């Protein structure tokens, strides 16, 4: 979707080659990678792998679920769910470059039978009604203004009784975020809602809250720990972000500390 400012924000040239070069430099066999090898870079959200594992535990996967990851990025969470729980996962993402890297990394981890990725818009999901047992999404909605439509689309593709698992950044009481942050260099592509407003929209879309957890303290501790390192690791999300990654990391930690952003996990059931 050329010219989409959200896709432009996330697009950088040669991302796949940059990631593979970092892995080679660490002595990894780039034709036989594991999700653990990739976790420092392909879990592109606050708290990274531990946060994904926490949300997955809240869902309680049995292994038979058909899962959709909305805003799947480089595919790390989807590959982790496929690898760890044996579930079949489809990912959809607006950013074509991310989808290409997700497909390439999935081949190199031998998970192509279990995880697939395609470009698409969360506001017009390219899937039939009632196709999935679980819709999963981490740190993607903050780029999406039309939450009513987003949650209606998630509801549409879920089977009756299916569940929605969310990790989201929300607006806090401390005022607007400092920019740049990982999801936006300027406010025009950042759309944060308070947890209460988000919950009201989800309920209006036909979801019943099963679990709702404020994870701001964990996110804040993870952001502080990352910023205390003297230099970035050879493989990390800074490789995705471009030249201003340090300002983004600093602002993320500061926004959480000043109550400008909050993080929450939620599991909801399709009630209607």
Binding site for ligand SAM (CB under 6 A): 6, 10, 43-45, 71-73, 76-77, 93-95, 98, 121-123, 138-140, 143-144, 182-183
CB of 124 to ligand SAM, least distance (A): 9
Considering beta carbons, is residue 191 or 212 the nearer one to ligand SAM?
191
Three-class DSSP category at 227:
helix
The smaller minimum CB distance to ligand SAM, of residues 30 and 123, is found at 123
Number of residues that make up the chain:
272
Report, in Å, the least distance between residue 4 CB and ligand SAM. Answer: 8
Residue 190 CB, nearest approach to ligand SAM (Å): 11
Q: Is 143 or 216 the residue whose CB approaches ligand SAM more closely?
A: 143
What does the DSSP assignment read for 173-197?
TT-SPPS-BTTBSSGGG-----HHH
Name which of 244, 240, 237 is nearest 40 in CA terms: 237
Nearer to ligand SAM, 50 or 271 (CB): 50
Yes or no: say if 270 and 163 are a contact pair by the CB < 8 Å rule: yes
Nearest to 197 by CA among 123, 270, 141: 141
Residue closer to ligand SAM, measured from CB, 114 or 230 = 114
Which of 90, 85, 84, 83 minimizes the C-alpha distance to 66? 90
Nearest-approach distance from CB 24 to ligand SAM, in angstroms: 22
Residue nearest ligand SAM, Cβ-based: 73
Choice between 208 and 256, CB closer to ligand SAM = 256
- Give yes or no for a contact between 271 and 151, defined as CB atoms under 8 angstroms apart: no
Distance in Å, CB of 160 to ligand SAM, minimum: 24
- How does strand 66-70 pair with strand 88-93? parallel
Query: How many C-beta neighbours within 10 Å does residue 183 have?
Result: 24
Shortest gap between Cβ of 136 and ligand SAM (angstroms)?
9
**Tokens describing residue 209:** 């809250």
């Amino acid at each position: 979707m050329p010219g989409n400012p959200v896709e432009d924000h996330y697009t950088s040239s040669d991302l796949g080659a940059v990631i593979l070069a970092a892995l080679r430099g660490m002595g990894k066999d780039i034709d036989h990678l594991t999700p653990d090898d990739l976790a420092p870079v392909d879990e592109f959200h606050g708290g990274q792998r531990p946060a994904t594992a926490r949300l997955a535990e809240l869902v309680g996967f049995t292994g038979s679920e058909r899962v959709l990851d909305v805003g799947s990025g480089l595919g790390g969470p989807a590959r982790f769910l496929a690898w760890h729980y044996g579930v079949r996962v489809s990912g959809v993402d607006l950013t074509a470059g991310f989808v290409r890297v997700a497909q390439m990394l999935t081949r190199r981890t031998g998970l192509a039978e279990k995880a697939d990725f395609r470009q698409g818009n969360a506001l017009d999901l390219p899937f039939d009604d009632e196709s999935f047992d679980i819709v999963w999404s981490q740190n993607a909605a903050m780029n999406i203004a039309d939450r009513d439509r987003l949650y209606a689309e998630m509801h549409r593709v879920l089977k009756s009784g299916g569940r929605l698992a969310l990790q989201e950044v929300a607006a806090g009481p401390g005022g607007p975020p400092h920019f740049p942050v990982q999801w936006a260099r300027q406010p025009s592509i950042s759309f944060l809602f308070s947890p209460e407003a988000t919950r009201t929209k989800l309920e209006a879309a036909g979801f019943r809250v099963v679990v709702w957890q404020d994870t701001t303290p964990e996110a804040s501790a993870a952001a502080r720990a990352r910023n205390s390192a003297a230099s970035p690791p050879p493989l990390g999300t800074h490789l995705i972000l471009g030249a201003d990654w340090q300002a983004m990391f600093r602002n993320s930690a500061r926004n959480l500390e000043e109550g400008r952003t909050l993080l929450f996990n939620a599991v909801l059931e399709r009630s209607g």
